Amino acid sequence: MAALLLSLAIASLSLLSLGNIAHAAETRPGAGKTLIPSAQSNDPEEMFQTYLVGMGLRDLGYEVKEPIVAQMQATFVAVANGDATYYAAFWDPLHNSFLANLGTDKVAPVGGIVANSIQGYLIDKKTADAHGIKTIEQFADPAIAKLFDADGSGKATLYGCDPGWGCERVIEHQLDAYNLRNTVKHKQGSYTAIIGDAIERIKAGQPTLYYTWTPLWLSSVMKPGTDVTWLTVDKTSLPADQANAVTDVDGIGNLGFPVNQQRILANADSKRKSGRPEMVRTNSYPTGRH
């Protein structure tokens, strides 16, 4: 079973992290086994993570092929269908809604890569301090929202998520739950592309609202507490499958988004099927960082 292979691999990687390199090298649990990762095509940070996991698996004896690269939903489908063996950036619980569609008999989250990844809304600190803005619910006030109008629509421009991402589903849910639909416009597209505009606006001293997550390079460019401020929520409202998630973060408050554990989503059957009509392979290493 591929899920079992990945579980063994993660356990072996833990041995490496504890300094038992010699022991792990002797056992070589991956000898004679081939793995194929799947990754998103428009996220260099995720590609970096995918290659990093692959490097560790190769050290453990696995043959790791080049990633199958596709959009978010297709990466999950590739793992479920057996075209890929694993996806190295599964967010639990943010991505759990995908599992119901894929079938838990086909995929299984295993191990852990990054603990306590947080996400939420931020605004530039200058505007937050000047207008006493602390929560996303305050954007239901047209006067507050209009401050963040970047396109002349009269609504606050929220630099948000790629279509199809797990965060899109949460944001769209909260636009209704917090009565923001008439005052906030969800700007979507390639996150890497649109967030550049948000950065330039903040540098120019213009009010800016955006969504992000950690770990991500953005928080080293726009530093929370110095350049930008996390927005909290008065009351958590999430899609039903995440309703019981932890959303409180020490030192910040209730961000309204689940605190996530990044895990590996593994194919539940090692048999790989032929045919990859929606997939393309990449032969270059990423330059981004996670």
Query: Would you say 92 and 263 are in contact if contact means Cβ atoms under 8 Å apart?
Result: yes
pTM score of the predicted model: 0.80
Q: Is the pLDDT of residue 283 over 70?
A: no
> Where is average pLDDT lowest: 40-44, 118-122, 177-181?
40-44
> Where is average pLDDT lowest: 61-65, 130-134, 229-233?
61-65
pLDDT band at 273 (very low <50, low <70, confident <90, very high): very low
pLDDT band at 43 (very low <50, low <70, confident <90, very high): confident
- What confidence tens digit (pLDDT) does each residue in 186-220 have? 999 989 899 999 999 999 999 999 999 999 999 99
What span, in angstroms and rounded, lies between the C-alpha atoms of 213 and 143?
Answer: 27
More confident residue, 3 or 49: 49
pLDDT of residue 184: 98
More confident residue, 245 or 1: 245
* DSSP E strand boundaries for 130-259: 156-159, 184-187, 209-213, 228-230, 248-249, 253-254
pLDDT of residue 289: 28
Query: Would you say 232 and 255 are in contact if contact means Cβ atoms under 8 Å apart?
Result: yes
pLDDT band at 27 (very low <50, low <70, confident <90, very high): low
State the maximum Cα–Cα separation within the chain, in Å, rounded to a whole number.
65
Q: For the CA atoms of 34, 94, 218, 152, what is the dihedral angle to 10 degrees?
A: 130
Q: Give the phi and the psi of residue 3 in degrees, each rounded to 5.
A: -60, -40
Which residue in 109, 112, 100, 93 sits closest to 243, CA to CA? 93
pLDDT of residue 103: 77
What span, in angstroms and rounded, lies between the C-alpha atoms of 266 and 111?
Answer: 10
Cis check: omega of the bond before 93, within 30 degrees of 0: yes
pLDDT of residue 111: 85
